[in-house]
Amino acid sequence: MRRGSTGLSLVSGLAMLFLYGPILVLVLYSFNAAHLSTAWRGTTLKWYAALWHDEALLAATANSLLIAVISTLGATVLGGLMALGMERMPLRRQQIIESGLALPLVIPEVMMGVALMLLFVTLKMPLGLTTVMLGHIVFNIPLVTIMIRARLRKLDPALREAAADLGADSWQVFRHVTLPFLRPAIWGAVLVAFTVSLDDFLVTFFTAGPGATTLPLKVYSMIKSGVTPEINALSALLLVISMACVAVSLHLQRREV
Amino acid sequence: MPSHDLSSPPAPRRSICRSGWLAAPGLLWMGLFFLAPLALVFAISFASRGTYGGIIWEFTATNYLDLLHPLYGKILGQSLWYATLTTAICFVLGFPLAYTIARSPARWQPVLLLLVMLPFWTNFLVRTYAWMIVLRQDGLVNGLLLSLGIVAAPLELLYTPTAVVIGLVYGYLPFMVLPLYVAVERLDPLLVEAAWDLYASRWAVFTRVVVPLTMPGIVGGCVLVFIPSIGSFITPDLLGGARSMMIGNLIQHEYLVVRDWPLGSAVSFVLMAIVMAAVALYYRHAARTAEALEGR
């Protein structure tokens, strides 16, 4: 729309301001020395320093990392095998499983959370780190399967046939042809699963017991109580870390194309 | 040296690596920890609540009938309203943005898209919290309005429906921009040029040419924004007040505060029905588009 282009650019600029304004404000306030008000009282790093001495926060971070590592491992193995297995199935069955796998991605997370909580309570499983991990594997399996399947579809069948014709058994074909080809997708899936697990609040909220506080749960309680500006520093730190992770993953992907 | 008998065709390889059984552990996991819990919620939604919060397994539809109570009806109604409003605002903001990106120089497009997506990759709680700082009584918006003399006293912005909708738009705008970008990118600029040359008004170019041709992206974007909006919990929990509760908050309230699991389960299934209706709408539209393309 050539004649409307100034208006369009204006709205686009506003949309960008809308997207980044609050983030910038948050980062700025994390350096504010004022304790209670949002008025500016000089620059400080003391809220960042306070993070290092917050034992509960460090424990929550350790919990989050442990859950993310285990659930990423579990989901990558189960989801990867699922992608490989689905490939051998009749097309109709593949489609059924595929639409089934979309379900966890569309149903509201709050519902997945309460459903898992009900299951664990019914099975009389004590809520804790284990139940959180089990739950995180559930929402990560579809992500991993979809990503690996997408890559698997691009694998030229002739490559595997050639290897088989040269006498490779099916394990050797997998080990020397399929796996190397899938490697970028596997790393991508690992990265996504790890991030999603680390960021998850709702499923964790419903499936974690009192002793299993994760970083997002801690952030939530700090926001809710709102007593210390430490939360500003923590939030700013998390923002910067996530953005750096995205940058690194994009860089990796570009290199592997 | 692997031996390979060339005179006869190789025997079909039927080892574990070539069978569909590899999918079994994952499927079992999803059955056990995804489908079974959903079935459990469904079953409980037809049970009733015992005196001490336990469950009495007798079939009843009371929980669903209870939802007709004006109190619950109001929460359902306002959830639908907030989600619809969010979708509409995302469209109004997202369309110009997607259009600008799709029509900017090719080497800038990935960068601009990344800029739109980047906030989405950060923690949702943190992003929502950022709005609490901006909107609160002594926050940035009020400070700006006061110093410019637009208002005499700070506005009540946080813990209102407005704050909830702002938070939802903020959270899900990228979901609108991406499908719209794809659709606009495919739109032939010559068709728009032709409309201008035929003296169409700006509005006519938009409604008669641009909108019909980018319809798949519009429907996709709207569904992608509507689904997480209607099911949101964090945004209304942090930015909304007691009176701007949404379905997600009602579910949490029934489960964890009131401990009325049967009612909470019924609410969950109403929410799931709304989400599934939105998904069905999308697929029907996609199928019709495919049909129309084939009919050409």
The reply to whether residue A235 touches residue B36, judged by beta carbons under 8 angstroms, is: no
pLDDT at residue A127, as a whole number: 93
CA distance B182 to B174: 13
CA distance B126 to A194: 18
Q: 3-state class of A206 per DSSP?
A: helix
At residue A257, does pLDDT exceed 80? no
**Domains (ranges, CATH) in chain B?**
69-295 (1.10.3720.10)
Residues of B in contact with A227 (CB under 8 A): none
Query: If contacts are CB pairs under 8 Å, which of residues 83-102 in chain A contact chain B?
Result: 84-86, 88-89, 93, 97, 100-101
Contact of A133 with chain B, judged by CB distance below 8 Å, is answered with: no
Contact of A106 with chain B, judged by CB distance below 8 Å, is answered with: yes
In angstroms, the separation between the Cα of residue A26 and the nearest Cα of chain B is 5
Contact of A195 with chain B, judged by CB distance below 8 Å, is answered with: yes
**N- to C-terminal Cα separation, chain A:** 35
In angstroms, the separation between the Cα of residue B37 and the nearest Cα of chain A is 5
A185 touches A84 (CB < 8 A): no
* pLDDT bracket for residue A243 (50, 70, 90): confident
The reply to whether residue B18 touches residue A231, judged by beta carbons under 8 angstroms, is: no
Which among A110, A167, A223 has the least Cβ separation from residue B233?
A110
pLDDT at residue A201, as a whole number: 95
* pLDDT bracket for residue B208 (50, 70, 90): confident
CA distance B70 to B66: 9
B22 touches A170 (CB < 8 A): no
Contact of A174 with chain B, judged by CB distance below 8 Å, is answered with: yes
The reply to whether residue A12 touches residue B97, judged by beta carbons under 8 angstroms, is: yes
Residues of A in contact with B38 (CB under 8 A): 107, 111, 115
**Tens-digit pLDDT profile for residues B1-32:** 444 444 444 444 444 445 788 999 999 999 99
Chain B residue nearest residue A170, CA to CA: B17
pLDDT at residue B169, as a whole number: 96
Chain A residue nearest residue B14, CA to CA: A170
Q: 3-state class of A156 per DSSP?
A: coil
**Domains (ranges, CATH) in chain A?**
48-256 (1.10.3720.10)
At residue B38, does pLDDT exceed 50? yes
CA angle B47, B48, B52 (to 5 degrees): 135
Contact of A244 with chain B, judged by CB distance below 8 Å, is answered with: no
Residue type, A235: S
At residue A2, does pLDDT exceed 50? no
CA distance B104 to B112: 9
Q: What is the largest CA-CA distance in chain A?
A: 74
Chain B residue nearest residue A104, CA to CA: B34
Give the single-character DSSP code of A30: T
Cβ-based neighbour number of residue A45 at 10 Å:
11
- b or e along A114-127 (b: 16 or more beta carbons within 10 Å of the residue's beta carbon)? bbbbbbbeeeeeeb
**Tens-digit pLDDT profile for residues A175-226:** 999 999 999 889 989 988 998 999 999 999 999 987 789 999 999 999 988 7
The sign of the CA dihedral B49, B52, B53, B57 is negative
pLDDT at residue A1, as a whole number: 44
Distances from the Cα of B136 to the Cα of B22, B132, B155, angstroms: 53, 6, 9
At residue A83, does pLDDT exceed 80? yes
At residue A164, does pLDDT exceed 80? yes
Which among A141, A145, A170 has the least Cβ separation from residue B17?
A170
The reply to whether residue B115 touches residue A79, judged by beta carbons under 8 angstroms, is: no
| ipTM (interface predicted TM) | 0.89
A217-231, A242-256, B117-131, B238-252: least confidently modelled range: A242-256
Report the predicted TM-score, pTM, of the whole model to 2 decimal places: 0.89
The reply to whether residue B126 touches residue A201, judged by beta carbons under 8 angstroms, is: no
Chain A residue nearest residue B26, CA to CA: A78
Which among B93, B143, B261 has the least Cβ separation from residue A11?
B93
pLDDT at residue B10, as a whole number: 47
Q: 3-state class of A95 per DSSP?
A: helix
CA distance B125 to A223: 9
